């Protein structure tokens, strides 16, 4: 005889969803195993658990749901209509769990795992491709999820668990992060090639105090460094344009719309002249950061060790200007 509705179910329709999952989740695989074999003894043997444990788990599952999932004939069982409906969802749920488990195991594999790596836009054209090529010489099958962004956004993604490591500037100083300084870039004052300072090789930043500046938007590390260097030189920059990418700023400079403090370009850009700044230390420090207290997977640990080994030689031709100064 089949009874589709049991009395006094433990879980009501108003039960908290988290409580339902906590009660039901451990029993779903047992239910699916018995539904597949339609035999409690065979299912217990396949899952290598005592038959009594399996039987009790099924009884508790039906009691918690308040619904008969099986019609029983000795040790042989068959699904009720409610059981067939429940099984379809359970198989999808267990399939998702299995795929998720396979995914995280694959990402942690020492040889073929994945690293979620963030870096500044200015490092995307030359620095990061060179680093990845060198790393993959010894780890050819490690996969990367690459994210380009500005420093504060990458720190937020580190804290959210979306990144394993990031190259950023300035090097962060926060109690929940671990950061290591790796290298530095000398910043140049970039001016149009017909600018009054364009015939110079070196310039003091104070000589640009009356110029219009093109800068990155607030929140970018390079914007903060620009503001600090100008303040150190005794003036507040008059910002004419704000952007999100250094090469766009170079284009604005080439168009005669202002001057900018920028790291060296991957390739020289026509229409601008890049001047060495003297009288103060015009650099930006580059570091690697990660979230403290979180264990690394083997591929993340290997890439972190690789980055730390590049201290002082992270950047291609670091600190060398296009003119060789």
Residues 203 and 151 in one domain: no
Residue 293 belongs to a domain with what CATH number?
Answer: 3.40.190.10
pLDDT of residue 47: 86
Residues 152 and 296 in one domain: yes
H runs (alpha helix) in the chain: 17-37, 40-47, 51-65, 81-108, 127-136, 151-159, 221-232, 246-254, 298-309
Residue 233 near residue 209, CB atoms below 8 Å: yes
Residues 295 and 247 in one domain: no
pLDDT of residue 287: 96
Q: Can you tell me the distance from the alpha carbon of 322 to that of 262, in angstroms, rounded to the nearest whole number?
A: 13
Burial label, 249 (beta-carbon count in 10 A; 0-12, 13-18, 19+)? buried
Q: Is 97 part of a structural domain of the chain? A: yes
Beta bridge partners, 274, equal 190
Taking residue 196's Cβ as centre, other Cβ atoms within 10 Å add up to 10
Q: Is 28 part of a structural domain of the chain? A: yes
Residues 193 and 179 in one domain: no
Residues 289 and 178 in one domain: yes
pLDDT of residue 100: 85
Q: Is 6 part of a structural domain of the chain? A: no
Residues 219 and 92 in one domain: no
Q: Is 323 part of a structural domain of the chain? A: no
Count how many domains the chain has.
3
Distances (CA, A) of 76 to 41, 213, 271, 273: 8, 81, 84, 85
pTM comes to 0.74
Mean pLDDT, consecutive 10-residue stretches, the chain (325 aa), reads: 46 50 74 88 88 89 89 85 91 87 86 95 91 96 95 93 95 95 96 97 97 94 94 96 93 97 90 96 95 94 98 72 36
Residues 42 and 58 in one domain: yes
Residues 50 and 75 in one domain: yes
Residue 304 near residue 288, CB atoms below 8 Å: yes
Sheet of strand 272-278: strand arrangement: 202-204, 272-278, 188-192, 260-262
Residues 135 and 261 in one domain: no
Beta bridge partners, 289, equal 166, 179
Residue 57 belongs to a domain with what CATH number?
Answer: 1.10.10.10
pLDDT of residue 116: 97
Q: Is 133 part of a structural domain of the chain? A: yes
The strand pair at 212-216 and 143-148 is best described as unpaired
Q: Which of 188, 267, 272, 266 is nearest to 222 (CA)?
A: 188
Residues 130 and 99 in one domain: no
Taking residue 288's Cβ as centre, other Cβ atoms within 10 Å add up to 24
Q: Is the dihedral of CA 191, 192, 197, 202 positive or negative?
A: positive
Residues 82 and 162 in one domain: no
Residues 203 and 271 in one domain: yes
3-state secondary structure 222-287: HHHHHHHHHHHCCCCCEEEEEECCHHHHHHHHHCCCCEEEECCCCCCCCCEEEEEEECCCCEEEEE
Q: Is 317 part of a structural domain of the chain? A: no
Q: Is 167 part of a structural domain of the chain? A: yes
Taking residue 149's Cβ as centre, other Cβ atoms within 10 Å add up to 19
Residue 209, domain extent: 188-281
């Amino acid at each position: 005889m089949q009874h589709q509705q049991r009395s006094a179910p433990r879980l009501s329709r108003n039960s908290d969803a988290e409580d339902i999952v906590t009660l039901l989740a451990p029993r779903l695989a047992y239910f699916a195993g018995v539904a597949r074999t339609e035999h409690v003894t065979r299912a217990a043997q396949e899952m290598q658990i005592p038959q009594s444990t399996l039987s009790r788990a099924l009884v508790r599952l039906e009691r918690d749901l308040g619904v008969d999932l099986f019609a029983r004939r000795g040790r042989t069982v068959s699904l009720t209509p409610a059981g067939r409906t429940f099984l379809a969802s359970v198989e999808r749920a267990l399939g998702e769990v299995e795929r998720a488990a396979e995914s995280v195991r694959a990402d942690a594999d020492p040889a073929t795992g994945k690293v979620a790596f963030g870096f500044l836009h200015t490092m995307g054209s030359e620095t990061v491709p060179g680093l990845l090529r060198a790393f993959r010489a010894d780890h050819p099958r490690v996969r990367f999820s690459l994210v380009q962004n500005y420093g504060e956004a990458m720190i937020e993604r580190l804290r959210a668990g979306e990144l394993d490591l990031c190259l950023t500037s300035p090097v962060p100083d926060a109690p929940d992060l671990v950061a290591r300084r790796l290298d530095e870039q000398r910043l140049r004052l970039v001016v149009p090639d017909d600018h009054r300072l364009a015939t110079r090789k070196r310039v003091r930043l104070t000589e640009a105090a009356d110029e219009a500046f093109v800068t990155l938007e607030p929140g970018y590390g390079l914007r903060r460094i620009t503001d600090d260097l100008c303040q150190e030189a005794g003036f507040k920059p008059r910002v004419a344009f704000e952007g999100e990418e250094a090469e766009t700023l170079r284009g604005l400079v080439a168009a005669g719309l202002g001057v900018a403090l920028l790291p060296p370009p991957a390739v020289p850009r026509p229409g601008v002249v890049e001047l060495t700044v003297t009288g103060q230390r015009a650099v930006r420090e580059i570091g690697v950061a990660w979230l403290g207290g979180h264990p690394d997977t083997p591929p993340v640990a290997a890439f972190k060790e690789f980055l730390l080994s590049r201290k002082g030689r992270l950047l291609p031709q670091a600190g060398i200007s296009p003119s060789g100064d």
